[in-house]
Amino acid sequence: MRFMILVKANKDSEAGVLPDEKILTEMGQFNEELVKAGVMLAAEGLQPSSKGARVKFSGEKRTVIDGPFAETKELVAGFWLWQVKSKDEAIEWLKRAPFDGGTEVEIRQVFEAGTSAPSSLRNSGSRKNACARRLRGKTKS
């Protein structure tokens, strides 16, 4: 099972302030443990929302909204993608992460072939092909 681990943004991450050296070192060690255990598939920190944008879709209309975005509690500062046997295993790994100070981290399972994904993805043969077909249907030639 794959899980995305979403680290919520806070005022510091939105200001572009990096954690102190001690936390960065501890996080590096934690990430090494994840890699050695074969758990980590990917991990990245994200730039503040002031460097991002949102695109709102309404029928044929596309509206671009430039950051920053006001609601930091709804923003993501970084993520991991983990391969584990269960949600409980992901939770146990996450409990070992060197977070403090009220940091909130969300765990979400990734849809896999044969799971309770929408039938358009389950029966398509591959998620990539299903996405490509959906995009071709929305794109004008």
Q: 110, 81 in Cβ contact below 8 A? A: yes
- Spatial distance between the Cα atoms of 85 and 1, rounded to a whole number of angstroms: 6
Write out pLDDT tens, residues 59-114: 999 999 999 998 877 899 999 999 999 999 999 999 999 998 888 899 999 998 87
Q: Which residue has the higher pLDDT, 135 or 86?
A: 86
Q: Which residue has the higher pLDDT, 126 or 69?
A: 69
Using the predicted structure, report yes or no on whether residue 4 has a pLDDT greater than 90. Answer: yes
The per-residue pLDDT for 41 is: 98
- What residues have CB less than 8 Å from 80, skipping those under 6 apart? 4, 5, 34, 40, 42, 43
The per-residue pLDDT for 71 is: 81
Using the predicted structure, report yes or no on whether residue 52 has a pLDDT greater than 90. Answer: yes
The per-residue pLDDT for 64 is: 98
Q: What is the pTM of this model?
A: 0.77
The per-residue pLDDT for 140 is: 45
Q: Which residue has the higher pLDDT, 121 or 50?
A: 50
| Integer CA distances (angstroms), 110 to 68, 90, 114, 130, 134, in order | 27, 12, 12, 16, 19
Mean pLDDT in the chain?
87
Q: Give percent of the chain above pLDDT 70.
A: 81
The per-residue pLDDT for 141 is: 40
